[in-house]
């Protein structure tokens, strides 16, 4: 079992709709969870992180964490063409080690 | 605040040659990471430093890869000798320990 799993996509969402990205992790001791956006040919860019169960909202982005189910998700409301990118889920353990999933490629269709 | 700096940005070498990459983290960040990202995959941690000590190098191919972080600031990653499968983007990231990590622009390595 991979430490961090994501559906590789591609995920296509119409402009203005909600994009939902999902991630599961295997280590129950994981402490914090991150979502990065990576445009083609660019480095990953941190967009959100979450530590506690529940929802965390930042503008059009909402991160959701369910530690019992070992599941974290990212919702993007009012999707824009500029949101088209690969979204990487990452999980941190107690030693600051950050493990990435393979990423989900998101395409927003105008 | 200046970001994570890396050089060179691009490197093309032949297999069996050696190559070195340099990283300067964000000022004050104690933790420094080197990741390898192969096209179409997520970043894979190669080595993690806390100040100038190694915290995790379990996925570093130690027969050919080496890294050091002298004085707890800059770091270099070396590959000797390079193989075709080392073609990837090498990303350096730094962290203040609060969990967030900031990446440099990466070094794109092509091994022919």
Q: Read off the pLDDT of residues A55-80 as tens digits, 9 standing for 90 and up.
A: 999 999 999 999 999 999 999 999 99
pLDDT for B66 equals 97
Do residue A97 and residue B91 have CB atoms under 8 angstroms apart?
A: no
Alpha-carbon distance B17 to nearest alpha carbon in chain A (angstroms):
25
Measured between its terminal Cα atoms, the distance across chain A in Å is 36
The encoded tokens of residue B57 equal 């190098």
Give tens-digit pLDDT for B36-66.
999 989 999 999 999 889 999 999 999 999 9
CA dihedral for B79, B97, B5, A5, sign (positive or negative): positive
Are A60 and A48 a contacting pair, CB within 8 Å?
no
Instruction: Please indicate whether residue A69 or residue B98 has the higher confidence score (pLDDT).
Output: A69
pLDDT confidence tier of residue A97, bands split at 50, 70 and 90: confident
Chain A residues with beta carbon closer than 8 angstroms to that of B102: 46
CA distance B26 to B95: 8
Looking at residue B1, its pLDDT comes to 60
pLDDT tens string B5-43: 999 999 999 999 999 999 999 998 989 999 999 998 999
> Considering CB atoms only, which of A32, A44, A97 is closest to B103?
A44
């Amino acid at each position: 079992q991979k430490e961090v799993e994501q559906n590789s996509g591609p995920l296509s969402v119409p402009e203005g709709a909600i994009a939902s990205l999902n991630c599961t992790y295997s280590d129950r001791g994981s402490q914090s969870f991150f979502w990065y956006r990576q445009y083609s040919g660019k480095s990953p860019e941190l967009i959100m992180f979450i530590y506690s169960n529940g929802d965390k909202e930042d503008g059009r982005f909402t991160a959701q964490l369910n530690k019992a189910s070992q599941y974290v998700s990212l919702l993007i409301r009012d999707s824009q063409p500029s949101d088209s990118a690969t979204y990487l889920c990452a999980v941190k353990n107690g030693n600051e080690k950050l493990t990435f999933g393979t990423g989900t490629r998101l395409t927003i269709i105008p | 605040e200046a970001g994570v700096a890396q050089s060179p940005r691009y490197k093309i070498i032949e297999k069996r040659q050696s190559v070195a990459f340099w990283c300067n983290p964000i000022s004050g960040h104690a933790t420094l990471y080197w990741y390898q990202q192969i096209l179409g995959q997520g970043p894979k941690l190669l080595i993690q430093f806390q100040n100038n000590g190694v915290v995790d190098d379990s996925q570093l191919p130690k027969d050919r890869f080496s890294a050091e972080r002298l004085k707890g600031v800059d770091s270099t990653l070396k590959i000797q000798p390079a193989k075709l499968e080392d073609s990837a983007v090498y990303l350096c990231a730094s962290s203040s320990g609060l969990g967030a990590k900031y990446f440099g622009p990466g070094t794109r390595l092509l091994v022919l």
